[in-house]
Structure 1
Amino acid sequence: MRKVMEKTGKALLGEMIAECLAVMIIVTIGDSVAAMFSLYDPSPYKQAYWGVAITWGLAVTLAIYVTGSVSGTHANPAVTLALACYRGFSWKKVVPYWVAQIGGGFLGASLVYALYGSVIQHYALANHLDWVNDGAASGVFFTHPGDFVTPLHAMMNEVILTAILVLGIFAITCEYNTVAPQANSGALIIGLLVAILGASSGFLEGWALNPARDLGPRIFCFVAGWGRAAFPSPGNYWWMPIAGPMVGGLVGATLYQTLLRPFMPARARVTTTAAD
């Protein structure tokens, strides 16, 4: 029994390390391209936002290829919650995965600051921006509502966008979906799914889609000196990129599991065979 517990504990530790590294990879690459977009004038991405979106998406693909064999690469608390509700993921692992994912977001943001810290400081000075009052360059690290978007509208957007994300992930990874990508190509399609969501809606509020992607860097920024620009942030927005994706993930998973999966022909054949 002791050996079994030790083995289980060691396996969970490996999964947590993998989840931490996955989110760290995503945030390091994604926030770095956000820095390229925001801090430079002229920015190479101002007239080519698809470059920002595809970079975020391929960061997700890379994270899956690096860590998928260890943890399955949830890399998103909303995905972890949806998998626990509908795909048999252990509820005992949910909170440890969340902690690891948020920690990965913190570490990723710290790496981005190590890369771009001097550029951020120059940007703030050149534009006469204060870190706390103006949130200078904070958009590099975490999300805000865009122009003409209220905080509540932004949260509603995150519910919708994350529902589409998790609906797609559930479809791509469903064993009964015969038109889903096969073998390792699923990682690329999930990355492209993230990219098309960003390309179509990134200006609304930065398409967080992932509580760890927003909360981990926000915690780092609070520690690093952004203060109330990070927490509670203007309009007390800090909790909305957490709540919106968590609700949206459940909505997307529920839509797939109740409206599509029961009618998969491959599932029906398996059920009929088992009944015979």
Structure 2
Amino acid sequence: MTRQGFGELISEAMATFIIISLGNSVACMYTLYDPSPYANAYWGVCIAWGLSVTIAIYVTGSVSGTHANPAVTLALAIFRGFPWKKVIPYSLAQVMGAFVGAAVVYVLFSPVIDHYNEAHQLTREAGGAAGVFFTHPGLAITPMHALVDQIILTAFLLLGIFAITEQYNEMAPGANGGALMIGLLVATIGAAAGYLEAWAINPARDFGPRLFAYVAGWGSSAFPAPESYWWVPIVGPLIGGVVGAAAYQWLIYPFLPARQRASKSAS
């Protein structure tokens, strides 16, 4: 592996580390405190998660492109020429960064987590406060319904990312504005459907913290989780990312005027 290649992996790990360190801390603020500072301001949770993505892009984008999500990496490999040999290393780096990010959240909030569980007569093994680390189905949602949700929501994510980052899209934000728009895209998805199953839309975002919670005492409530839910936030986003990227590449990209002009000039 080249020095630059190693730097790209560090960059991807750092990106998911930033997202999880900040995003899961917001989940702690939302869940563990009574009254919650976000009790009547859920949009604030969404914005904080979105801005954590924006910050991650500003920090690491110049090195690796800030995929920060195996679903993004896979879609870029299929549709935009990202090297297939980098897909697995990028994905592993993303999961590792998310794992370490969850560890930082634990360092910050472990006394509050323990207090919350004691106050509510919960245990880690029973899943007490587990939602601050990883996702789970919400009200009336079954795992199979959650799978469909994750496919749809991640399709929206990749549809938006491909539009925002497309060089021939004359309506895309310029320069560094794309980082903010991607963050707002994540926030909007959370605001629209976050209560369904906490809008994972990213296998690393769920699996890395889930692994940390497993070794930190949450055991089977984290992995395999009730109803063996652990695979849903992995498979759903991977499928959904391809669907959303395909929708953009097949339904929008061929008709971009700037692309058509470039094709005519090249012929």
Give the counterpart of 2:114 among 121, 132, 148.
121
Mapped to 2, the partners of 1:20 and 1:231 lie a distance apart of 22
1:30 pairs with 23, 31, 46, which one?
23
Query: 1:53 aligns to what?
Result: 46
* Alpha-carbon distance between aligned partners in 2 of 1:11 and 1:95, rounded to the nearest angstrom: 17
- How far residue 62 of structure 1 moved from its aligned partner, in angstroms, is 0.1
- Of 193, 196, 201, the residue aligned with 2:188 is 196
Quote the offset at 1:19 in angstroms.
0.3
Q: Distance in 1 between matches of 2:91 and 2:188?
A: 25
Computed over aligned residues only, the root mean square deviation of the Cα atoms, in angstroms, reads 0.6
Out of 122, 142, 157, which is 2:134 matched to?
A: 142
Q: Is residue 2:263 matched to residue 1:271?
A: yes
Q: Which residue of 2 aligns with 1:66?
A: 59
In structure 2, the partner of 1:208 is 200
Q: Deviations over 1:19-68 (max 9, x none)?
A: 00000000000000000000000001011100000000000000000000
Would you say 1:218 and 2:210 are equivalent positions?
yes
Which residue, out of 139, 163, 166, partners 1:171?
Answer: 163
Distance in 2 (alpha carbons) for counterparts of 1:151 and 1:247: 15
> 1:82 offset after TM fit, Å?
0.2
Task: Report the secondary structure of 2:125's partner residue.
Answer: helix
CA distance in 2: counterparts of 1:124 and 1:205, whole angstroms: 21
Q: Which residue of 1 aligns with 2:179?
A: 187
Q: How many residues align?
A: 267
Q: 2:101 corresponds to which residue?
A: 108
The match for 1:258 among 240, 250, 260 is: 250
Alignment of 1:76-95 (within 5 A): 76-95=69-88
Task: List, as ranges, runs of 4+ consecutive aligned residues in structure 1 with deviation greater than 2 Å.
Answer: none
Q: What TM-score comes out, normalization by structure 2 length? A: 0.99
Which digits, 9 at most, give the CA deviation of each residue in 1:213-257, with x for residues without a partner?
Answer: 000000000010100001110111000000000000000000000
* Matching residue within 6, 11, 35 for 1:13: 6
In structure 1, give the amino acid aligned to 2:141: V
Q: Shift of the alpha carbon at 1:204?
A: 0.5
Displacement after TM superposition at 1:9 (Å) = 1.3
Identity of aligned residues (%): 61
For 2:167, the aligned partner's letter is E
**TM-score between both structures, scaled by the size of structure 1:** 0.96
- Tell me what 1:4 maps to: none
Counterpart for residue 5 of structure 1: none
CA–CA distance in structure 1, aligned partners of residues 124 and 103 of structure 2: 16
Residue identity in the other structure for 1:47: N
Structure 2 unaligned runs (5+)? none
- The one-letter code sitting in structure 2 at the alignment partner of 1:222 is Y
Deviation at 1:207, TM superposition (A): 0.2
Measured after TM superposition, the shift of residue 130 of structure 1 is 1.5
Structure 1 residue 131: deviation in Å? Answer: 1.0
- For residues 93-132 of structure 1, what are the alpha-carbon distances to aligned partners after superposition, in whole Å with 9 as ceiling and x for unaligned? 1111001000011000000000000000111111000111
2:143 matches 1:151 = yes
The equivalent of 1:42 in structure 2 is: 35
Matched residue, 2:227: 235
- Listed one character per residue, the Cα deviations across residues 118-165 of structure 1 (whole Å, up to 9, x for unaligned) are 0001111110001112x0000000000001111111111010000000
